[in-house]
Amino acid sequence: MAQPLRIDGETAFFPIIGHPIGQVKSPASLSQIMADRGHNGMVVPIHVLPEDLPGWLAQAAAVQNCPGIVVTVPHKAPCLAFCSRVTARAQAAGAVNIMLRRDGGWVGDATDGQGYMDGIAAQGFDVAGKPALLVGTGGAGSAIAYEILARGASELALHDIDAARRDALIARLDAAFPGRVRIGGTDPRGFALVANATPLGMREGDPLPVEAGLLTAEQFVADVVTRPAIPPLIAAARATGCGTMPGSGMFEAQAVLLAELLMGVRQIALD
């Protein structure tokens, strides 16, 4: 049975910051995980404009009952610079999605890739030894790219309409995974995993991130989009007979991980 939230003078305050912020689903679920485990904390959505981010982070550092911050778009990449230390995957991704107070500063990690790949694994797909295509190299996409390679993909092709951002990520990943990263496109043929890390599909009329008509049943297709519950790419893949993971799979897998990091049950592992 879900436990009631506890709010008093000792409640830990965990902001989740973004612009916009109305689309986030995690505050209630993360707060409920804390309540169910007897932790006195709550996650609260905070709408921060990009130009106000430095000032807001300075104020957050002064809030003594704010031991951690969850970061969403478009602040994942900028927040990296405000961390005194980050994990290897956050450095390679060029972004953080969680910041925890430690030794007078913030330490950062990028857990989007872990949640994404854990959600895929829960559907029975293993990327090890297989080629993958990833569309989208923003904050979440960068972390997902790192994790795909860390879990043993034979190669990763990256596609993004922002060629400079794509190429910068390829350079960072090639340093950690030499010879396994290349430029990709929207043609999904030849890839065991076809992964979307763009918001395409959230709005009616969005184009599909890949040429869905070229998908075949033996491929696995994954998406970050949570609204609608079955994004257009996932609907097209299921119609073809592909294994799939919609964004809810990533969300559910990552919720426990984020909550445990915020509560201190898990620690950010710095190299």
Whether the per-residue pLDDT at 236 is higher than 90: the answer is yes
pLDDT > 70? residue 27: yes
Percent of the chain with pLDDT strictly greater than 70: 100
- What percent of the chain clears pLDDT 90, i.e. is strictly above it? 91
pLDDT of res. 5: 83
Give pLDDT tens digits for 44-54.
Answer: 999 999 999 99
Over residues 183-197, the mean pLDDT reads 98
> How far apart are the C-alpha atoms of 197 and 219, rounded to whole Å?
17
**Burial annotation 72-95 (CB, 10 A radius, 16+ → b, else e):** bbbbbbbbbebbeebbebbbbbbb
Residue 10, pLDDT score = 96
Task: Indicate the pLDDT class of residue 271, thresholds 50, 70 and 90.
Answer: low
- DSSP secondary-structure letter at 136? -
Mean pLDDT of 36-49: 97
- Lowest model confidence (mean pLDDT) among 23-27, 202-206, 212-216: 23-27
Same fold, 12-111+251-263 and 113-249: yes
Mean pLDDT of the chain: 95
Domain topology for 113-249: Rossmann fold (3.40.50)
pLDDT of the residue at 24: 86
How far apart are the C-alpha atoms of 148 and 71, rounded to whole Å?
Answer: 21
Q: pLDDT value at position 23?
A: 79
> Would you list the domain boundaries of the chain?
12-111+251-263, 113-249
Q: Do residues 152 and 128 lie in contact, with contact meaning Cβ atoms separated by under 8 Å?
A: yes
Catalytic residues: 76
Tell me if the domain spanning 12-111+251-263 has CATH number 2.30.33.40: no
What's the confidence (pLDDT) of residue 1? 72
Residues forming a β-bridge with 18: 47
Q: Is the pLDDT of residue 197 over 90?
A: yes
Burial 207-216 (b: 16+ CB within 10 A, else e): ebbbebeebe
User: Is residue 3 scored above 90 in pLDDT?
Assistant: no
Question: Is residue 162 over pLDDT 70?
Answer: yes
Q: Which two tokens stand for residue 208?
A: 């599909």
Q: What is the pLDDT of residue 49?
A: 98
Please compute the mean of the pLDDT values over residues 202-230 and round it to a whole number: 95
